[in-house]
Amino acid sequence: MPPKNRNSAQRRSLVQSFRDALRGIWRCVQSERNMRIHALACGYVMFFALQIHASRGELALLFLAMGLVTAAEALNTAVEKLSDFVEPARDERIGRIKDMAAGGVLLGAVFAALAGCAVFLRPELRHVLAELAGTPWKLALLAASLIAGGLLVFAVPLKRE
């Protein structure tokens, strides 16, 4: 069978490319617990950033940090899936490669957390937390969201391919 025309990828529409990318993100969320944890953390980061009235620069830093961590997680997932496809049996070399990819995610997450500390460790956060703790319905809503998030992360089955 002759190889496909190299220009066939160029003929794909931009919409098709975005659809494929969004499908890949959705597959990561469906199949990876850590991606669910990152997505949940991103939601809380944005909630608290808006509550403390983070500046545009601080929001940009937070978006960049969240984007880097979730992108690293997606790439780590791709490395793991490709590795399992190439070598289904347990292989020490593949294991080291997977460990390195996971280490990249960990590094990104640690530095994103440090960036978050730089943004959030200020008096405004204490005021927001005090208001949440002092308002029963807000505290109940936060607790309910944490429970729902925990169920999404740990109770909803992961889709394995």
pLDDT tens for each residue of the chain, 161 residues long:
455 555 555 678 999 999 999 999 999 999 999 999 999 999 999 999 999 999 999 999 999 999 999 999 999 999 999 999 999 999 999 999 999 999 999 999 999 999 999 999 999 999 999 999 999 999 999 999 999 999 999 999 998 86
Residue 27 and residue 15: Cα distance in Å, rounded? 18
- CA nearest 63: which of 144, 142, 119? 119
100 vs 87: CA distance, rounded Å: 17
Question: CA–CA distance from 75 to each of 2, 5, 35 (Å)?
Answer: 31, 27, 11
- CA–CA distance from 115 to each of 50, 59, 98, 104, 127 (Å)? 16, 11, 26, 17, 20
Tokens in use for 62?
């937070």
pTM of the model: 0.85
Q: CB under 8 Å to 45, separation ≥6 — which residues?
A: 62, 66, 116
Predicted pLDDT at 8 = 55
Say what the pLDDT of residue 12 is. 82
Which tokens go with 14? 């931009």
Q: Which CATH number fits domain 15-154: 3.40.50.300, 1.10.10.10, 1.10.287.3610, 3.40.1280.10?
A: 1.10.287.3610
Rounded Cα–Cα distance for residues 74 and 89 (Å) = 23
Please tell me the predicted confidence (pLDDT) of residue 76. 97
Q: Where do the domains of the chain lie?
A: 15-154
Where are the strands (E) in 5-118, listed by range?
Answer: none
Structure tokens at 72: 């690293």
Cα(37)–Cα(27) distance, integer angstroms = 14
Contact (CB, 8 A) for 105 and 76:
yes
